[in-house]
Every structure is written in C-alpha cells, then in structure tokens.
Amino acid sequence: MAIITISREMGTGAYQIASEVAQRLKYTLIDGPRVKSLAAKYGLTPEILQLVDEKPPSYVTAEDRKRAAALNAIELIILDLARKGNVVIYGRGGQDLLKDCKNILRLRFIADFEERVERFAEREWIDPDMARSLIRRSDHQRGGFIHFYFDRDWKDPNYYDLVFNTSRLSEPTIVDCIIATAKEPSIKDADKSSVAVIDSVILSKKIETALLNAPVLEDYRPFTISIDKGAVSISGYIISEAQKNAAIAIVKSVKGVTSVIEDIHVFDYKAYKEKM
C-alpha cells in the first residue's frame, strides 16, 4: 500500500504525470476534485474549501480558527484515503502530513520559470504577463503554506526522495522512473506499520479540530499533541483554569482517546498584553 506524494511548482506539468502514474499503478489520485467531491461529508462548503485549501492558516480570531479547523477536515479526507493505501497525494503537504510513515515516495517537480509561464499561459489561454503573476502568487502561497504549517522550506531537496526537472526530462521518462521506484522492496516492506501511524495522525487531527471548534475556548492556540495507541499527551498555554479544564474534557470526549496526560499552563496573555 505504497503512498506517493507530489510537491509541485505551478506550470511544471506535474498533474498530467501524477494522473498517468495513478492510472498505470491503479492507485487513487487524491487531488482537488477528489477532495471537493468528499468535502460535504466532512462538513466543508465549497466556499470554505476555496478559502483554506493549500493556504497558510491563522489562529487569531474565531473565524481564523474555523478556517484552521476546515484545513484539518481537508487533511482528514486525505488521511482516510491514504489509510487504504495505494494513493497518489497531489500537493497539500502530503509528505509532511505523513512524515512518520515509512512507505512514502516523496516527489518534487520543478521547471525553468519562463517555461512554466509558457505552459501555463498556453493551457489557460491567458496573457504571459498574467501567467507570470499567477505563478509567482501560487509559488508564494504554497511555499507559505508549507513554511507556516509544517515549519520547513518548500524547496529544500532533503525532504524529497526524487526531484524532477520537467524542463530537462520527458514525461514518459519521469513516469517510468516513478513507477519503478514505487515498486522498491524497501517501500513495500514498510507497509505494516503505516496504518498505525496514520491512525495516530487522524486521532490527533480530530482532537485539534474539536478544540478549534469549541466556542468555550475563545482564545485557543493550538496545543502540542502526541499520541501513543490512544494515550494522548497535550501541552501548551491557555488563558484560564476554566478553559484548561474545558480543553481537557474536550480531548477526553474524542472517540479513540483512552487517556490524557496534560502539561497545559495557564497564562492570561490577554491581560498581560493590556498592561504593556
């Protein structure tokens, strides 16, 4: 049940390659349309999906936290599909979301900027200057999403197993290389432990979503959450003892949680800020 993740710059032709790889391997392609088709089942409207998909989250206001919770819902869609195995995850930080799984093949697609502009302009029938602007915006947005949410450099090659320059290599060559690599015994042999890892990530996301959606936690900032077979450890800061107790109760109420160890410190940073 290998998992292939794809990070891409706009205009590299990565989508066509991802589609071909998924078709030839008989894998499920997890892309924008797939996420959109399942969004309603996870409580996501088309409008909120458009607002949060592959965009850096924020946690300042109640509306920000709703958007962060919606981003978690997108990740739960991806995780539920990935749990079944044999998937190609197109974008959305798949390699970081599943970083502890051993059966992942992490791919990155790049190309010369002007060639990306030409491809995108031809595909969308738009002016090259507009294509340049949209590509720069896309790169900035996706890079910002990875940096903010996963705290790493989007372009760092050390986070990928293979980096393909589509300005230099043909699509058939790249596809053949990916398929051959996906069949590596070292990737297949890691299948056994991946389901347990994904289950822990799913539970963590459900806990985080419950906390983000709780009206009683009016100034909640994400806790650090770790899970070991249903045993949950949470740490962080919150503004009152009442909200601390409420947060612990929320975590305990999430299905799959067997016990909770907390290291939550009460610190009224609102009051401190007002004194400054």
214-223 confidence digits (pLDDT tens): 988 877 888 9
d(CA 120, CA 82): 29
Residue 276 has pLDDT above 70, yes or no: no
Q: Please give the share of the chain, as a percent, with pLDDT higher than 70.
A: 93
Looking at every residue in the chain, the average pLDDT score rounds to 89
Q: Residue 57 — pLDDT band, cuts 50, 70, 90?
A: low
For 41, the token pair is 């089942």
DSSP for 177-195, written as a single string: HHHHHHT-HHHHTTHHHHH
Q: Are 266 and 238 in contact (CB under 8 A)?
A: yes
CATH class of 3-182: alpha beta
Q: Kindly calculate the radius of gyration of the chain based on its CA atoms and give it in whole angstroms.
A: 20
The pLDDT assigned to 271 comes to: 56
Task: Cite the residue boundaries of each domain of the chain with CATH code 3.30.1340.30.
Answer: 196-275
**What pLDDT band is residue 73 in, cutting at 50, 70 and 90?**
very high
Helices 128-150 and 113-124 pack at an angle, to 10 degrees, of 110
| Distances, alpha carbon 63 to alpha carbons 36, 67, 213, in Å | 21, 6, 10
Place of tokens 């016990």: 259
pLDDT digits (tens, 9 = 90+) for 160-212: 999 999 999 999 999 999 999 998 887 766 566 788 889 999 999 999 999 99
pLDDT recorded at residue 270: 59
The pLDDT of residue 269: 62
Residue 68 has what pLDDT? 84
- Looking up tokens 């051959």 gives 180
Is 60 exceeded by the pLDDT of residue 272? no
- Beta-strand pair 28-30/87-90: parallel
Q: Say yes or no to pLDDT of 261 above 90.
A: yes
Q: What is the pLDDT of residue 67?
A: 83
- How large is the average pLDDT for residues 52-56? 76
3-state secondary structure of 218: coil
Helix (H, G, I), strand (E, B) or coil at 123: helix
Give the phi and the psi of residue 101 in degrees, each rounded to 5. -80, 145
Other residues' Cβ atoms within 10 Å of the Cβ of residue 84? 11
Fold of the domain built from segment(s) 196-275: Histidine-containing Protein; Chain: A; (3.30.1340)
Q: Please name the residue that has the structure tokens 């940073």.
A: 269
Q: In this structure, how many other beta carbons lie within 10 angstroms of the beta carbon of residue 188?
A: 13
Domain with CATH 3.40.50.300 in the chain: 3-182
pLDDT (average), residues 69-92: 92
pTM of the model: 0.86
